[in-house]
Structure 1
Amino acid sequence: MTSIAKLIDHTLLRPDATRADVLQLCDEAVRYGFFAVCVHPYFSAIAKEALFKSHVKVAAVIGFPLGMTLSAVKIYEAMQTVLNGADELDVVINTGLAKSGEWDAVKKEISDIVTATPEAVHKIIIETCYLTDDEKKKACKAVIEAGADYIKTSTGFGPSGAVIRDVQLIKTLTKGKPGIKAAGGIKTFAQAKALIEAGATRIGTSSGAAIMKEAPGEY
């Protein structure tokens, strides 16, 4: 099994996060060897500067946490965030469009963001807690057809986060590509390990340091 640290996006998306908090996040990411930090767009430049001499990537959220921003605003936010140093973008779909069955519009928005920021890795948050299984399948289809790199389960701001059943469902649809990012409510090593075994190829968590302290030596 790949070192669990290499699968973790060390996350700080609290609304009261400070510059000092972001710098601490980056320090922990370097110390534990996490794959990326995940921050609000405003902090992407600060994180990029702090991580300049490391291998840790900078991920930032777009249209977060509700996804109901105008598509043009999401595209602009994505472009500016990449200019500010983000390597990866975690983009929330428009859940209202999804629940309305407007899948072509969902796909177009994702595709437009991918096209506008070709240098970035795109992780599309489908917010599984609001979707039926059929809607989850259609959301995954939209992400795949739009050319994004990852399907991400949750923002962590909904009524529930990542669950094994959803990761397993997504895995049956992706067949290895795009990747699967499990996020939301992952606080222990056991949770992270179970989600990886279910098919997650990336873990988003604000508890990365605690997870690594729990992890056995081989992880």
Structure 2
Amino acid sequence: MDTEKILAHCDHTLLKQESTWEQIREVCDDGLKYRCASVCIPAAYVRRAAEHVGNALKICTVIGFPNGYSTTAVKVFETEDAIRNGADEIDMVINIGWVKDRRWEDLLTEIKAVKASCQGRILKVIVEACLLTEEEKIKMCEIVTASGAEYIKTSTGFSTGGATREDVALFARHIGSGVKIKAAGGISTLQDAEDFLALGADRLGTSRIVKLVKGQQGEGY
């Protein structure tokens, strides 16, 4: 697959706790240069990043991140605040404990509440697949489909594992019409990226692909 096509599916990501504005600005500049789908950054930098890029690049941020166990009201507030500050896309973490408790209606209600708070913006639902059984993953495909969210997302990148080819293939078999897949966590090579896209992912959450392409260009590739 053409490298430019791969980059067009990338949410160029920087979510480390120690991230500085200088680093966020570099991520934004790289996102612009390489025509990424978006940059995914901490909420505290959304307003400044949105002002920096204007309308030339989508700004994505994370809600209930990375553990997912804040209350629904807090997630809704975070989402509304992010939208006011200029976020174009929202990646929310579900309550994993509710999955284990089989609180399916509560999960659906929460995702719907956050979706309503997005005011028409794209919502990606992070299910942290590394912590779920296959049955739970399939159930979350059903719930995300019913919620009206645009994407199911594999991982935060902050738990015990990231995206796997098996999970993306599983999601592709069980999501409903109109729902897309974002693979995130551990995507470190162009081959990884190509594989995930071929399996059905539409977005890739990664901090490494742009760095890899920059390195190759620096070496004269």
TM-score range, shorter chain: over 0.9
User: Using the alignment, how far apart are the partners of 2:177 and 2:103 within structure 1?
Assistant: 26
User: Using the alignment, how far apart are the partners of 1:115 and 1:215 within structure 2?
Assistant: 42
1:47, distance to aligned residue in structure 2 (A): 1.3
Which residue is 2:120 aligned to? 119
User: Using the alignment, how far apart are the partners of 1:208 and 1:51 within structure 2?
Assistant: 20
1:115, distance to aligned residue in structure 2 (A): 1.2
Q: 1:215 to 1:131 in 2, by over 3 A?
A: farther
User: Using the alignment, how far apart are the partners of 2:85 and 2:174 within structure 1?
Assistant: 34
Mapping of residues 1-219 of structure 1, within 5 Å: 3-54=5-56, 56-174=57-175, 177-213=178-214
Q: 1:215 to 1:135 in 2, by over 3 A?
A: farther
TM score, norm. by length of structure 1: 0.94
1:153, distance to aligned residue in structure 2 (A): 0.2
Decide whether the 8 Å contact of 1:74 with 1:113 is kept in 2: yes
User: Using the alignment, how far apart are the partners of 1:20 and 1:176 within structure 2?
Assistant: 40
Q: Which runs of 5+ in 1 are unaligned?
A: none
1:158, distance to aligned residue in structure 2 (A): 0.8
1:125-164 per-residue CA deviation (whole Å, 9 max, x = no partner) reads 0000000000001111111101000000000001110000
Give the match's secondary structure for 2:201. Answer: coil
CA RMSD of aligned residues (A): 1.6
Question: Which letter maps to 1:41?
Answer: A
1:49, distance to aligned residue in structure 2 (A): 1.1
Give the match's secondary structure for 1:158. Answer: coil
1:68, distance to aligned residue in structure 2 (A): 0.3
Decide whether the 8 Å contact of 2:7 with 2:34 is kept in 1: yes
Give the match's secondary structure for 2:193. Answer: helix
Q: Which runs of 5+ in 2 are unaligned?
A: none
Give the match's secondary structure for 2:144. Answer: helix
